[in-house]
Amino acid sequence: MDPILIAALTLALIILFLGAGVWVFAGLLLVSSSALYFLLDMNPARIGGIMGSLIMRSATSADVAAIPLFVWMGELLLRTDVSRRMFEGLTPIANHLPGRLLHTNVLGSALFAAICGSSAATTATVGKITAYELDRRGYDRALNFGSLAGAGSLGLLIPPSVVLIVYGVLAEVSITRLFLAGIVPGLLMAALFSGWISLRCLMDDSLAPRAPKTGFRDLLRGLWLLLPVLVLIVLVLGSIYSGYATPSESGAVAVGATLLMTLGMGQLNFRIVRESLRSAAYTSCMIIAILITASFLSTAMAYLHVPQQVAGLIAHMDLSPYELIAVLAVFFVMLGMFLEGISITVISLPITLPLVTAAGFDPIWFGIFLVIMTELAQITPPVGFNLFILQNLSSQSMLKIAVYAVPFFLIMCLTVTILTLWPPIVLWLPALI
């Protein structure tokens, strides 16, 4: 059978399984096994052997070990008053900007993203305070919920990021360099979000009600409230970039520091530990199961020579590198309507990575590009995790929140365009190591 047809059927089957409500990892496993059994006449014992070797490789991977650690840290922080402290600490800073407290959505998400690595945890933690407080104080709902939906996705880009770890494992590139590559694009996107909020509020000051003036003493108190979060950022990222810890070891540093911090704040108890462990185990098992079955799908596609054939087809289309990136961007946005970030990464990578490297793009750069495209999936209905979270945090419908998020969706697209035209924005920090 033509490998191009195999690729199309594979994608159609995956979408069919997911649309029918089958778990992502189960759908990937069914498609991969069926392809090897029916198309290559591979016996079940050999298929099982391939799967067993992939499970062992993942089980002994130090990089994969970082996933449950960072997930647990996010679950611990989600159950503390970190979000309240961040809101109160950022208020004196945000009050001096056009748009005032609306900037706490962006600044709080950027700070929490630097210690968490999860978009869902970032949106939920920051949103459980700011969504209600800003709405109660009369801030424009479109800017409030839209900025929270967009900025919450920074948890996927600003290191440490679970999606970047998954990409690094699958693409076999340095996770430390990927983390470095995500810093400047993440800060750029956050600056563009804040810039849009400032512009809209300068055009219409009624979107952000006036707040009491804050002085130098308030600023010092704000920094004191932010101190635990800043210490966590320094410990997690500093341990990596100083060379004292690998990305996986930094996960242990992150969890240890979080446990000590919550204990010092008097918020650590048996119930929080039990609930956070249960939730982290559930989420981590889901991610790792998807990771293993995605590797299985990648292996099956390699046996069927699909990546090489698809690459050859696109090569014969004589697309320029920029045209290829434009086609892939549209492809990822379409996937984002049905899948969440990790699923998009693991499903598409076996085919897309060979294409972009053949076109001359750096795998590190493509990792950041792919993560931003998965961020778009977080605010794209009908399967937008951030939209679901904000719907639960507010009385707004998911469709209305999706409309609020449109300007921030376009800002993400602008960020991708800037990074495509000027790749050194992504690559200059990783080049330093």
pLDDT (average), residues 141-170: 85
pLDDT at 340 (0 to 100): 65
Half-sphere exposure of 117 (CA within 13 A, CB side): 34
Distances from the Cα of 398 to the Cα of 321, 388, 392, angstroms? 36, 7, 9
Report which secondary-structure segment, H or E, holds 217: helix 216-241
Looking at residue 309, what is its pLDDT?
67
Alpha helix ranges (H) inside 304-423: 306-316, 321-336, 341-358, 363-378, 385-393, 398-404, 406-421
Give the number of residues written for the chain: 433
Query: Tell me: the pLDDT tens digits for 7-29?
Result: 667 667 766 776 676 776 787 78
The two tokens of residue 213 are 């003036």
**Residue 341 CA: distances (Å) to CA of 171, 290, 383:** 16, 11, 10
Mean pLDDT value of segment 67-84: 78
Give helix then strand counts, H and E, for the chain.
21, 0
Residue range 306-326, pLDDT digits in tens: 656 665 666 677 778 888 899
Q: How far is CA 328 from the centre of its chain?
A: 18
pLDDT of residue 50: 84
Local confidence band at 362 (pLDDT 50, 70, 90 cut-offs): very high
pLDDT at 116 over 90: no
* Alpha-carbon span 61 to 63, nearest angstrom: 5
Average pLDDT of the chain is 81
Q: What is the DSSP letter of 36?
A: I
Return the pLDDT at 3: 59
Higher pLDDT, 384 or 132: 132
Reported as a single tens digit per residue, the pLDDT across 237-269 is 788 777 777 767 777 888 888 888 888 888 888
Q: Please compute the mean of the pLDDT values over residues 414-423 and round it to a whole number.
A: 93
Q: Say if CB 114 and CB 153 are below 8 A apart.
A: no
